[in-house]
Chains A and B, each alone.
Chain A
Amino acid sequence: MTEPLLKIQGLCKRFGGVVATDDITLDIPEGELHAVIGPNGAGKTTLVSQLAGELTPDAGRILLGGTDVTSMPVWRRSLLGTARSFQITSLFPEFTARDNVALAAQAHAGHSFHFWKDARRETALRDTAHAALSRVGMGDRADVRVSRLSHGEHRQIEIAMALATRPRLLLLDEPMAGLGSSEAAGMLALLRALKRQYTIVLIEHDMEAVFALADRISVLVYGRVIATGAPEAIRANTQVREAYLGENSVAGAGDA
């Protein structure tokens, strides 16, 4: 068996009395789409933040492609190939969509101590940005200022920015949050297209999407992984049903 792209070993994180990450150990092989589900406050975002490097774990290790990245700052991990989209949209509102994504490309195209040349005329960066925006279906909205775009479009730019950094590992924190049904369908199609091309950790509340997309699912409750396995196994797991899914949503996912 080949080395998994992402290895999480004994990860712990607490905020005062709250144990947000409780001894999580998980291997994610290259090319897998691994969904993490769990009720509100289960610690999903906290886990992503530690994988991305924004939060330092209290204990445990994170290895990316065999490299220990546990204490690496977030920007260095980005350069190593970890990209993240945010649950709560986090963009540069006063710039255009293309500027936003080009900036992500710029971070991965050598240093930025260039003081004279107009960065908006660097065709390589603009082309990368345009490709990423087209990929998420925003090619024709590239020159609109982000503050004037809709929530659904913001969610698409979130993904485009992650893609523009040419990542190996995509951490997607609820990409479908707040989307209308047609927008959600578009996002689902996009995620399906990204599957296999990237190793993906997907956090999502939309069970239909999760069960349709994931190779494996981990269920997080109070910071602890109570089950990891293929969608069918998770659906059948009684502990998961009791702790989280509830009969209705499982039935709903089963129908999907």
Chain B
Amino acid sequence: MRFPFTARNLLIAAVIALLVLLPVYTALSGNAFFLTLFTRILILALAATSLNLIMGYGGMVSFGHAVYLGIGGYGIGILAFEGISSGFLQWPLAILVSALFALVIGALSLRTRGVYFIMITLALAQMVYYAGVSLSRYGADDGLTINRRSQFSGLIDLSNRTVFYYLCLALLLGTVYLVWRLINSRFGLVIRGAKSNERRMRSIGFPTYRYRLVCFVVAGAICGLAGALLANFTNFISPAMMHWTRSGDLIVMVVLGGMGSVFGPTVGAVALLVLEETLPFLIGKLGFPLFGESAARAAEYWQIVLGPMLLAIALFARGGIVGLLTRTGRD
């Protein structure tokens, strides 16, 4: 494959370099804050990448995708609570259960289209959320603390922050590569064809439903893996992991970074979470010389600045940040 030095590829290379080198910086500076922030970013980027597979390539706008974060997380948390801490058992189970939930949710929702699909995925995810709230043995809506991270018989030590970070990074990059292979495979072309013109796909001989369903399940399984990582990262699970606002965050990451670009969701996750962390600070600092004390007060309302920024991206840059840079290079 060629690697032309387009603005898009340079951005992606820069983001990868940043992600790879970040632990070096935090080790040298002794500031672990960024390592923590970026571990969270990597995990959510993994979840957003899985959403992009169904939403960006398959046209299946799921408004309940965070539910698999929750299910993956609960898979880890519940097993840990019940005394099973082997990661070799926890992780496959967490992924498998996420896939099963995706199978049921997908089988029901993929019979509908458009707004109905969005509403059904949202409704089913909220049902799972309330099921989580009612699990009193596992902390109900207060959630559950995980005392021991997944054990991989000494192979990987998840309690080491740097190791954990690089594990997340490796899983993210591996998944991005997997998605890239997938979307160019026979299967991927069927999924993308069904997004583009499902009627024609059926007319030329594709039973599209089963392909879309399998795609939905694959995305759910990957997001379940992200949930397993998240539970280990925060040492905590709660229904909030799968609240619909979380699903909304994932959609924002995908749209912001660029739907239908394999690296878009990673760029989107970095952009969104870094903005969330830095906007209050930036508004206060940059606004101070101009507006004095009122800038500091304005900083509390940073979301008022973030909202219109996201809206502008959605309206004027339909391919997100990555798409914005692509357009300059191609036709």
A residues bordering B, Cβ < 8 Å?
52, 54, 73-76, 78-79, 83-84, 86, 90-95, 99, 103-104, 106-108, 112-120, 122, 161, 164-165
Confirm or deny: B245 has a beta carbon within 8 angstroms of a beta carbon on chain A.
no
- Top 6 nearest A-B pairs (CB, nearest first) are A107-B205, A78-B205, A112-B186, A114-B186, A104-B204, A92-B196
- Across-interface contacts of A54 in B (CB, < 8 A): 199, 202-203
Q: A73 touching B207 by the CB < 8 A rule?
A: yes
Q: B205 touching A114 by the CB < 8 A rule?
A: no
CA gap between A120 and B211 in the complex, in Å: 18
- Across-interface contacts of B208 in A (CB, < 8 A): 75
Confirm or deny: B185 has a beta carbon within 8 angstroms of a beta carbon on chain A.
yes
Q: B203 touching A119 by the CB < 8 A rule?
A: no
Q: B186 touching A117 by the CB < 8 A rule?
A: yes
Q: B196 touching A90 by the CB < 8 A rule?
A: no
Confirm or deny: B239 has a beta carbon within 8 angstroms of a beta carbon on chain A.
no
Say whether chain B's binding surface is mostly helix, strand, loop, or mixed. Answer: helix
Q: How far is the CB of A174 from chain B (nearest CB, A)?
A: 16
A-B contact count (CB 8 A): 94
Q: B196 touching A94 by the CB < 8 A rule?
A: yes
Q: A74 touching B203 by the CB < 8 A rule?
A: yes
Q: B196 touching A95 by the CB < 8 A rule?
A: yes
Q: Contact check: which of B193, B200, B201, B214 meets A113 at CB < 8 Å?
A: B214
Q: How far is the CB of B253 from chain A (nearest CB, A)?
A: 23
CA gap between A107 and B184 in the complex, in Å: 15
Q: B197 touching A79 by the CB < 8 A rule?
A: no
Q: Given A73-B202, A95-B196, A104-B204, do A113 and B189 touch, yes or no (CB 8 Å)?
A: no
CA gap between A54 and B200 in the complex, in Å: 10
Confirm or deny: B54 has a beta carbon within 8 angstroms of a beta carbon on chain A.
no
Q: A75 touching B206 by the CB < 8 A rule?
A: yes
Q: B189 touching A106 by the CB < 8 A rule?
A: yes
CA gap between A79 and B208 in the complex, in Å: 14
CA gap between A116 and B201 in the complex, in Å: 21
Q: Contact check: which of B181, B200, B204 meets A116 at CB < 8 Å?
A: B181
Q: Chain B residue with minimal CB distance to A79?
A: B205
